[in-house]
Amino acid sequence: MSGFTESVVELAALAWLENVGWRVRSDAGIAPGEPAAERDDYGQVVLGLRLRDALARLNPALPAEALDDAFRKLTRPEGTDLLVRNRALHRLLVDGVTVECRYSDGSIRGAQARVIDFNLPAGNDWLAVNQFSVGEQKHWWRPDVVLCVNGLPLVVLELRNAAAENATIWSTFQQLQTYQAEVTVLFGPNALLAVSDGVAARVGTLGAASERLKHLCTFAGDTLANAYVPVLQKARR
């Protein structure tokens, strides 16, 4: 497996994502302090402008104060436990955010602010961020790829070099466990975790034990992909 390094796996993943419609950016270009910064600090994981733009685009009938309320609820989830916050945010993504709208006649009525367009994928903002740096308290980590939909970091992808000694998808899974324990802010909106060494890959949800991780599915999603075909080869198909 000469020449098969972690950077090869990372570049292949980013190339595949770009090929299927994701915009790819390096965090170095949009990190706090940069001219094109999309975050105020490294403890902030939501790309605020993208989220605000999506809320306005998906909810044209809602007044500005209702959109502000939806933004606040999405970026400041309630609950002291990570899994509780994660479940609450999942419901907001699926069902929409309940907001109050004040109308010109003085009446106040509730409404649901959509966060993701599930009917028209092109109506969403798809961004893959390479080497997404996150800091929380004294901890600092940089996951390989974070996938943001409408500014929300929904997927964390961690990669390893299959040729390296002791580098397996299971050691990579343990790295994700460390991230969850030390930079919890990244995982409030999380919908999927993925690990790969370019040969094997597994996907799972927040809190899932290693035995609960699943093989990749085919693009149609109705069957499992061939476990004997390297992931990089699948990505090229």
Secondary structure class of 136 (helix, strand, coil): strand
Domain edges within the chain:
6-24+126-236
C-alpha to C-alpha distance for 160 and 183, rounded to whole angstroms: 20
Is domain 6-24+126-236 given the CATH code 3.40.50.2300 in the classification?
no
Whole-number pLDDT of residue 218 = 47
Other Cβ atoms within 10 Å of 91 Cβ, number: 10
Q: How far is CA 114 from the centre of its chain?
A: 18
Q: What's the pLDDT at 6?
A: 64
pLDDT at 195: 87
pLDDT tens per residue across all 237 residues of the chain: 445 566 788 888 899 999 999 999 999 999 999 999 999 999 999 999 999 999 999 999 999 999 999 999 999 988 889 999 999 999 999 999 999 887 777 778 889 999 999 999 999 999 999 999 999 989 999 999 999 999 999 999 998 866 566 667 778 888 899 999 999 999 999 999 998 877 778 888 888 776 667 766 544 445 555 554 444 444 443
Cα 175 to Cα 193: distance, rounded to the nearest angstrom: 11
C-alpha 218, offset from chain centre: 20
